[in-house]
Amino acid sequence: MNIFKVIAGNLKRRPITLHFPERVAPPAGFRGLMQFDPERCVGCATCAYVCPTHAIFLTDENTHYEWSYEPGRCTFCGRCVDVCPTQALRMEAERPPVYTQSGALRRAYRLPFPLCPECGQPAPPINDVVLSRAFAEITAEIRIWSRLCQRCRQRRYEPALIETGYATRSKGNER
């Protein structure tokens, strides 16, 4: 007879189902879609490297790179946000919208490389965060070096490497 009490109690209560488009508010700390700030991105591809589902990927071209995000593949783990050296990524606190087509929420940004100050050719950027990880102290010479394209770096610093014998040792090791 206990089941009849449960049924009677349910019939007396109002429905608790929300009708579309109403939604329950997301809980605190909810991780939604990825938000990307192209102004802060330096193209280091660390986010793509740590993404377990390959929802983020970078394509490197000669004059630019393309940062892409596919939310349909994302598990919303937040690893990319944790490792981004420039805080160019953050996660929304809202649920993603409902979509019916695969790739409907995909986002892609085409970002140009800065120009080399010596030759004017596009050069992949090296930001201060990466430089601080590579060098104990970032001098003015290192800052200049980081803005040069690979060809100008080689042209400028190869004579010094030849003088020290480093370039000949490196070439000898390649054989």
pLDDT, tens digit (0-9, with 9 covering 90-100), for 46-79: 899 999 999 999 998 888 999 999 999 999 999 9
Average pLDDT along the chain: 85
Q: Are 147 and 141 in contact (CB under 8 A)?
A: no
Burial class (CB in 10 A: 0-12, 13-18, 19+), 77: middle
Tokens standing for 42? 């330096």
Total residue length of the chain: 175
Domain definitions of the chain by residue range: 26-112, 114-175
Does 83 score more than 60 pLDDT?
yes
Report the C-alpha gap between 126 and 48 in whole angstroms: 17
d(CA 159, CA 147): 19
For the residues 85-105, what does the mean pLDDT come to?
88
Q: For residue 130, what pLDDT band results from cuts at 50, 70 and 90?
A: confident
Q: What is the pTM of this model?
A: 0.66
Q: What is the mean pLDDT of residues 139-158?
A: 87
Give the span between the Cα atoms of 82 and 5, in whole angstroms: 51
Q: What is the pLDDT of residues 98-124, one digit of tens each?
A: 788 888 899 999 999 888 999 999 888
CA-wise closest residue to 46 among 135, 129, 164, 152: 129
CATH class entry, domain 26-112: alpha beta
At 175, is the pLDDT very low, low, confident or very high (cuts 50, 70, 90)?
A: very low
Q: What percent of the chain has pLDDT over 70?
A: 94
